[in-house]
Structure 1
Amino acid sequence: MTSQQNIKTHTFQISLGKILALKENGVIKAKSIRYATSERYQKPVPAEYSSDVTFPDKTPVCPQKISPLLERLIGKTDIEKFHADESTQYLTVTRPEIFKENEKLPVVVWIHGGSYEVGCGDLPTSDPSVWVKEQNIIVVSVSYRLGLFGFLGGDEKRPPNLGLFDIIEALKWIKNNIEGFGGNPENITLFGQSSGGDAIAHLMISEDIENLFQRLIIQSAPLGFRLKRCKMSLEFFQKTAFLKDEEDPLKMTESYSKFLPSFMRYGLKTSMPFCTQYGYPPLCKEEESFPKWKENAKKYDVLIGLNHDETAFYVKTAKEGLYTYLHEKILNRIVRKTTESIYEKPANIFARNYAEGGGNIYQFKIHSRVKNNYIGASHCIDLPLIFENETAWKDSELLKDVPWKHIRENGKKLRALWAEFARTGKISEDSEKPEILELRKVSL
């Protein structure tokens, strides 16, 4: 464990007891708090609190296989800073260092993306420190089970949606304890990107979530992949059955890729083999999902959107294969069609359905305004805008042709808008908007 000498600390008193936190860069961070525990393929149970609090040297992550594509997209992963933990129910609370006693700040709960397969809540590329200081909010970053451990199942011994149950348990912990950090338990906004956005959209229609949150920011959710997955999931589940009793979880993550479903049989959705599964707790049947979203529309304020060129990085930077030899105009057409089918049209349908149910919903789209930017506003371009951290993003191929000044100037305005929504559920027409943003309230 890290030596605690010369480290500035702060102690939070919560209902469970005392939580020790670090003061750094103008914020206070209570890192890697365990909110639950789990056995393999079992639902999470609330963690028993221990007063033996130390600062972890390494960040716990769900066992996973390093993605070369994500390493190019975002940056290299320093694996020495992480340790694999199959029971990866941890969260980190970040709040401003300067605050008043009895202050109740808006709470944003960050649910990371990564195709339900990779990542964790506590990464340098999603460090909320700048946002927290600027907007005087609290951000809680949540880690949950992924891949074979959290999002593939098909029977009572290996149930699906365990990662979703983890997030629900985290929300219960936050609801019960965030007031001790200066947060308002009646003003909680879920903020998810990519598969994290898909997860929080499905939390809206999950069991046992009453009064756990009030608002959602759904960013770049691949809702086009959510339907007609049953046969694909079943095939993947059956082919990986032999791994269920493997003692070494890292061997499991190394092995399953050999048994991924065939693209020829199931189409583009095979690029996200793990996902929430309808018809199993805590979710409804697939055909009941749209009626339930409409039925729940008056309960939650929603801000949903995407980037204009979501699939551009994957299509235009492929190092081998067919895309390497195609003309740029054809590549642009592929980007537009795939972005529309996976992200844009499903978001439009979701928003119309939600508005028809009387819901308060805004839609947004982020564009690229940088000249000679070959990739454009691709998947994940929103992350450095919200989580400003130039050092963490310096090796990202995604930002290769994008000046950091452009990220900083547009990001500050975007963070202000998202914080305004988190506080009030609304975005004023008079609020300053970045040039890259297209935003509208959906009305019928």
Structure 2
Amino acid sequence: MTTQQHKRIHIFHTSFGTISALRENGVIRAKSIRYARSQRFKKPELLEYAENHEIRDKTPVCPQNVSPLLDRLIQKTDIEQFEPDESPQFLTITRPEHFNENEKLSVVVWIHGGSYEIGCGDLPTSDPSVWVKEQNIIVVSVSYRLGLFGFLGGNEERPANIGLYDLIAALKWIKKNIRDFGGDPENITLFGQSSGGDAIAHIMISEGTDGLFRRAIIHSAPLGFRINRQKMSNEFFLKTDALKDEPDALKMVADYVSFLPSFRKYGLKTSMPFCTQYGHPPLCREEESMDKWKVNARKYDVLIGSNQDETAFYVKTAQTGIYTYLPHKILNKIVRRTTESIYEKPAKIFAENFSAGGGNIYQFIIQSTLKNNYIGASHCVDLPLIFENKEAWKSAELLKDVPWEYIQENGKKLRALWAEFARSGSISEDSERPEILKLKKV
């Protein structure tokens, strides 16, 4: 630890143990707190006490392949900043530096996306500092097992949904310990984007999650990919059997890629080879899922939605393949149809089913109002709005036609609305809306 860090150190004395944190940019951030441990393909074991927590130089992540697409569109991955760990059950707590010690703050739990394959809770592009300061909330960012380690299984030796069990373990830890960091354990909102949003939807119908949270904010969940996956998942599971005992975790993730081209026969869903799996604990069978959401509807307040041009992220920025030869008019039609089928229609069905069960649910669309924005409101464009960090997003191709002032102006209003929902489960008709947002109560 540097001398400068020593000056900015903050110590949390908690029932979980002594936790070191840094004061920076108006927030106190306790990074990389281990909430559980796991062996390969085994359920996580929740920790009762801290394991010599100190400020780390590198961020632990589940072993994964770097995505060239995300490097180009969002931020170049500096692999020197990360440390692969097959047991990546860590979370980071960000809270305001100054607040009333007697006040219990609303808690937002961030579950990152990345197709259940890449990413982690702690990235500069999902830094919640601005949101935490503006809205006086606590954000807990969670990392969990991905890919082969977390979301591909089929028998007792390699169970399915292990990454989902990691997330549930994190929620149990947060429920038990967040009060010691100034948070309100009775006012916890899950917030996830892409596969993180899909995970939240499935945590809502998982065994053993009652009472762990009150609300859910689900951004851009690819719910159109959740059904009719069993055949593909089973084939992928069998083909990767030879990798299960590979001692080198990084070799495991490098090698499974060779199987992916053989799944193209399964259509669009092959773009997300890993996913939650129905019919395996803690989930019900696929045909029972809609009824489960309906039955559980009164337990949670939900805010669900997507971006107007979700799939432009993949279609309009392709550097190889058929999309590079098609005219813009055709590309726009492809973007519209795939966005509807993967994101919009499934979210509408989810919302209407949830509302029919007596649930409190809002649905939203984020759109671009800029004339010269070729990509439009594509997948991930909501992230810089919520996680404002100009330095982290400055080279993102995703925002190359978007003035940063536009992100700031719309983001501040969006963050205020989402925090209002996290605090109360509702959004007032009188609250100011950003021009990019369409929002309705279902």
Give me the TM-score of the superposition, normalised by structure 2: 0.98
Question: Secondary structure of 1:338's partner?
Answer: helix
**CA offsets 1:221-276 (integer angstroms, 9 cap, x no match):** 00000000000000000000000000010000100010126354211000000000
Separation of aligned partners in 2, 1:258 and 1:163: 23
For the residue of structure 1 that corresponds to 2:414, the secondary structure is: helix
* 1:7-64 deviation digits (Å, cap 9, x = unpaired): 3122222221221211000000000000000000000001252463321000000000
Deviation, structure 1 residue 5: 5.4
Change (3 A) 1:204 1:266: same
Equivalent residues of 1:200, 1:216 under 8 A apart: yes
The structure-2 alpha-carbon separation of the partners of 1:382 and 1:5, relative to structure 1 and needing over 3 Å to count, comes to: closer
Q: What residue number does 1:40 align with? A: 40
CA gap of 1:51–1:195, structure 2 versus 1, over 3 A, is closer
The letter for the 1-side match of 2:133 is K
Pair 96,149 (structure 1): closer, same or farther in 2 beyond 3 Å: same
1:50/1:185 Cα in 2 relative to 1: closer, same or farther (>3 Å)? Answer: closer
Task: Report the counterpart of residue 377 of structure 2 in structure 1.
Answer: 377
- Please report how far the alpha carbon of residue 73 of structure 1 lies from its aligned counterpart in structure 2 after TM superposition: 1.6
Which amino acid letter does the alignment assign opposite residue 46 of structure 1? L
> What's the counterpart of residue 342 of structure 1?
342
Give the residue type in structure 2 aligned to 1:344.
E
| Conserved? CA contact 2:62–2:84, under 8 Å | yes
Q: Which amino acid aligns with 1:379?
A: H
Q: Distance in 2 between matches of 1:81 and 1:99?
A: 31
Answer whether contact 2:73 2:398 (CA < 8 A) is retained: yes
Task: Give the aligned partner of residue 87 of structure 2.
Answer: 87
Contact 2:33 2:53 (C-alpha < 8 Å) held by counterparts: no
Q: Is the 8 A contact 2:5 2:22 kept in 1?
A: no
Residue 249 of structure 2 is aligned to residue 273 of structure 1: no
The aligned residue for residue 114 of structure 2 is 114
Q: Which moved more, 1:100-109 or 1:330-339?
A: 100-109
What secondary structure, in the 3-state scheme, does the structure 1 residue paired with 2:23 have?
strand
Determine if the alignment matches structure 1 residue 207 to structure 2 residue 196: no
Q: Secondary structure at the match of 2:109?
A: strand
Any idea what SS the aligned residue of 2:252 has?
helix
Partner of 1:282: 282
Output aligned runs, 1:4-403, within 5 Å: 6-50=6-50, 52-260=52-260, 262-403=262-403
In 2, Cα distance between the equivalents of 1:58 and 1:223? Answer: 33
Q: How far off is 1:79 after superposition?
A: 0.6
Change (3 A) 1:274 1:51: closer
What SS does structure 2 have at the residue aligned with 1:260?
Answer: helix
Helix, strand or coil: the match of 1:429?
coil
Alpha-carbon offset, residue 320 of structure 1:
1.5
Residue type of the alignment partner of 1:151: F
Instruction: Note if contact 2:18-2:50 (Cα within 8 Å) is conserved in structure 1.
Output: no
Q: Which whole-Å deviations, capped at 9, do the CAs of 1:293-325 have from their partners, x for residues lacking one?
A: 000000000000000000002101111111111
The answer as to whether partners of 2:306 and 2:366 remain within 8 angstroms in 1 is yes
Secondary structure of 2:116's counterpart equals coil
The whole-number CA distance in structure 1 between the counterparts of 2:249 and 2:34 is 20
Within 2, Cα distance between the matches of 1:33 and 1:309?
A: 36
Separation (CA, whole Å) in 2 of partners of 1:179 and 1:58: 27
One-letter identity of the residue aligned with 1:327: P
Instruction: Work out the percentage of aligned pairs sharing the same amino acid.
Output: 74
Q: Provide runs of 4+ in structure 1 moved above 3 Å.
A: 1-7, 261-264
Asked whether the 8 Å contact 1:106–1:187 carries over to 2, the reply is: yes
* Partner Cα distance (1:17, 1:264) in 2: 49
Contact 2:19 2:54 in 1 (8 A): no
Which consecutive residues of structure 1, in runs of 5 or more, have no partner in the other structure? none
DSSP-derived class of the 2:21 partner: strand
Tell me if the contact between 2:34 and 2:50 (Cα under 8 Å) persists in the aligned partners. no
Aligned AA for 2:345?
Answer: K
Asked if the contact 1:106/1:184 (under 8 Å) is kept, the reply is yes
Assess if the C-alpha contact under 8 Å between 2:413 and 2:432 holds in 1. Answer: yes
Show structure 2 runs of 5+ residues with no match.
Answer: none
**Is the CA contact (8 Å cut-off) linking 1:232 and 1:261 kept in structure 2?**
no
**Shift in Å at residue 353 of structure 1?**
0.3
Between the aligned partners of 1:4 and 1:86, the Cα distance in structure 2 is 31
Judged with a 3 Å threshold, the aligned counterparts in structure 2 of structure 1 residues 323 and 51 are, in CA distance, closer, same or farther, namely: closer
CA offsets 1:79-134 (integer angstroms, 9 cap, x no match): 11000000000000000000111210000000000000000000000000000000
Q: Secondary structure at the match of 1:420?
A: helix
- Work out the number of aligned pairs and report it: 442
Q: Distance in 1 between matches of 2:146 and 2:373?
A: 33
The alpha carbon displacement at 1:2 in A equals 5.3
TM score, norm. by length of structure 1: 0.98
Are the aligned partners of 1:262 and 1:270 in contact in 2 as well (CA < 8 Å)?
A: no
Residue pair 1:2, 1:56 contacting (<8 A) in 2 also: no
Cross-structure match for 1:428: 428
Deviates more, 1:10-19 or 1:433-442: 10-19
- Which amino acid in 2 is paired with 1:149? F
3-state SS in 1 of match to 2:298: coil
CA–CA separation in structure 2 for the residues paired with 1:148 and 1:7: 41
Whichever residue aligns with residue 116 of structure 2, its letter is Y
Distance 1:8 1:264, change over 3 A: closer
